[in-house]
Amino acid sequence: MIPISKPEIGREEIEAVKSVLESGMLAQGEEVEEFEAKFASFIGVKHAIATNSGTSALHTALASAGIRRGDEVITTAFSFFATASAILMQGARPVFVDIDPRTYNINPEKVERAITERTKAIIPVHLYGQPCEMKELMAIAEEHRLMVIEDAAQAHGAMYGGRRVGSIGDMGVFSFYSTKNIITGEGGMITTDDDEIAERARMIRNHGQRRRYVHECLGYNYRMTNIAAAIGLVQLEKLEKLNARRISNARYYSEHLKVKPPYVAPHLRHVFHQYTIRVNSRSRAKFLHHLEAHGIGYGIYYPMPLPRQPAIAARVYCPEAELASGEVVSIPVHPGLKTEDIRRVVEVVNEYEE
């Protein structure tokens, strides 16, 4: 079986974890601080605040931005559930808009039409590793005085207009889940240039404390461990090499697969967290059976638009998101693929007939 994802863990990560375990300092400490500093430098921002998951990072970012009950936050209809659940966790209302069918990312024209007097922020999601159209989104946000929180959970190292995602909006949010371009097992990071936001985020992720046992606001136990940070430090050093392999694998697919390749806008850098093709919804199940029968892993990201999730059940219809959810199939593109694996994937996909 050629898996859809595979963690890239080597001897360096194992030794880094071993060093932390032997030190006895397992909770948030020096390794976390070093990881934050190096990640901030990599993204090109003043501050990085580590958390224990991408979801907790997104929740902390929203809380740090002052989002509260009754506020509206505009986001995409096509993403992982955490994009919406973090908004709900703050008591705010997610307002879903449709996607650009070429990129699967939020459509800026739809964003502008969705703004009301209660709108406080926009969360664009850089889905599959491709940046959103940030120039248009930032112009809309500036005109309407809205916060922009980039959900870059799948886009470590992606670039838009010469800048890394996570440095363009007011905040960026990253995930280090075990399938991401950088992994720590579980983990997250908030990036920002805003000193006040950074200070609030550090308090919120640590029970609302600036000083021990002095709780200035409602906070949570969202701290990252030194164990996770030790893995992250090694992974960060490898990121550009790992991304280069993802991009190379994607290029080979785009040159050799018979299906239409993913669209990549010319003014950005797509880091291919996923390589996603489209199959007619009426025959997708047959195509998936074909992949399974030949030992090719796959993923459906995502089979249901966010407005239709049972926990949300929003009364909004986003036709492009609906269409995408019935047609998308992601095939293995991870950096652990060997040349023979990539060729095998191409062979199997090209053999399929509806």
Backbone angles phi, psi at 43, to 5 degrees: -75, -30
Helix ranges, the chain (H)? 11-23, 30-43, 54-64, 82-89, 108-114, 134-144, 195-204, 226-256, 284-293, 319-327, 339-351
Confidence bin at 241 (pLDDT 50/70/90): very high
Residues 223 and 193 in one domain: yes
Q: Does residue 2 lie within any of the structural domains?
A: no
Cα dist from 220 to 57, 109, 203, 243, whole Å: 11, 36, 9, 33
Is 268 in a helix, a strand, or coil?
strand
Tokens 């089979």 — which residue?
Answer: 303
Quote the DSSP letter at residue 167: S
| The pLDDT of residue 313 | 86
Can you spell out the DSSP letters for 224-249?
PPHHHHHHHHHHHHHHHHHHHHHHHH
The CATH number for 336's domain is: 3.90.1150.10
Type of residue found at 87? I
Please state the domain count of the chain: 2
For the cut 80, the answer to whether the pLDDT of residue 56 exceeds it is yes
Q: Does residue 1 lie within any of the structural domains?
A: no
- How confident is the model over 119-132, as pLDDT tens digits? 999 999 999 999 99
Mean pLDDT in residue range 60-66: 98
Residues 248 and 209 in one domain: no
162: Cβ contacts below 8 Å, ≥ 6 apart: none
Mean pLDDT in residue range 281-307: 97
Query: 255 lies in which domain range?
Result: 239-351
> Which domain-ending residue is among 232, 249, 276?
232
> Which domain-ending residue is among 217, 232, 247?
232
Residues 192 and 320 in one domain: no
Residues 341 and 217 in one domain: no
- How confident is the model over 71-128, as pLDDT tens digits? 999 999 999 999 999 999 999 999 999 999 999 999 999 999 999 999 999 999 999 9
Residues 255 and 280 in one domain: yes
Residues 89 and 186 in one domain: yes
The CATH number for 79's domain is: 3.40.640.10
pTM higher than the cut 0.95: yes
Residues 75 and 197 in one domain: yes
